[in-house]
Amino acid sequence: MTSAKYKRILLKLSGEALAGPSGYNIDPAVLEKYSQEIKQVTELGVQVAVVIGGGNIFRGVSGERSGIDRVQGDYMGMLATVINAMAIQSSLEKHGLYTRVMSAIKMEQVCEPYVRRRAVRHLEKGRVVIFGAGTGSPYFTTDTTASLRAIEIEADVVLKGTKVDGVYSADPVKDPTATRYSEISFSDVYEKKLSVMDLTAFTLCQENNLPIIVFNMNQPGSLLRVVQGDSSAGTLIK
């Protein structure tokens, strides 16, 4: 398999994953690894948009526990995603890729504001577009941002990069009999209460017929295999 199954993808990466083993901050080794994986996919001619979380730096919900107002904390979380977006941008550019960070919260000195038509234009020109600052609104997640932006830019699929290679019938860490689905419907995920994304993000994809693939971003070559349509590389939800 050398050609791509998808023309335009939205890759969702968690902020926590960017932190590597320490759980905090940004691990340069993870950045390097992710950039290589993304580069391989762009070399197939695939248009790549990225949404990155901010959990390695700040989450609104955890801020609330330490006395920070929820909305204030959510804005802090959104700003955290811009820091991660800039880190990925820098790393991708070191690999010779052309990139743009587009933020849902205006910060002209740092990156472009998010404008859908401009995002699409960047993608058509072969630039990797990284969407920062989530949806720009509190009480949402970066998973919801990923679904929303993917729908807006008419991506073919949302690729959710995680620590596991797909959706399992039970938690594979706790239950040795858990099996991986290579494909499952939206309604089965919902009925079996399997965890894929938060419900807002999940429902947006379901209602707009946007497939999701859950795969292991830490497994070298896995992103490429997913993009090439290898069904053993993750779980397709459609």
- Where do contacts with ligand UDP occur on this chain (CB under 6 A)? 14-16, 53-55, 59-61, 73-74, 77-78, 80-81, 134-135, 137-138, 140-142, 145
Nearer to ligand UDP, 141 or 228 (CB): 141
Task: Give the type of residue at 187.
Answer: S
In whole angstroms, how close is the CB of 73 to ligand UDP at the nearest point? 6
Nearer to ligand UDP, 1 or 61 (CB): 61
Nearer to ligand UDP, 20 or 55 (CB): 55
Structure tokens at 29: 């080794």
In a 13 Å sphere around the CA of 170, the CA atoms on its Cβ side amount to: 6
In whole angstroms, how close is the CB of 236 to ligand UDP at the nearest point? 21
In whole angstroms, how close is the CB of 45 to ligand UDP at the nearest point? 28
Cα gap 200→38, rounded to integer Å: 27
Q: Nearest residue to ligand UDP, using CB?
A: 53
In whole angstroms, how close is the CB of 18 to ligand UDP at the nearest point? 8
Nearer to ligand UDP, 78 or 237 (CB): 78
Nearer to ligand UDP, 4 or 31 (CB): 31
In whole angstroms, how close is the CB of 47 to ligand UDP at the nearest point? 22
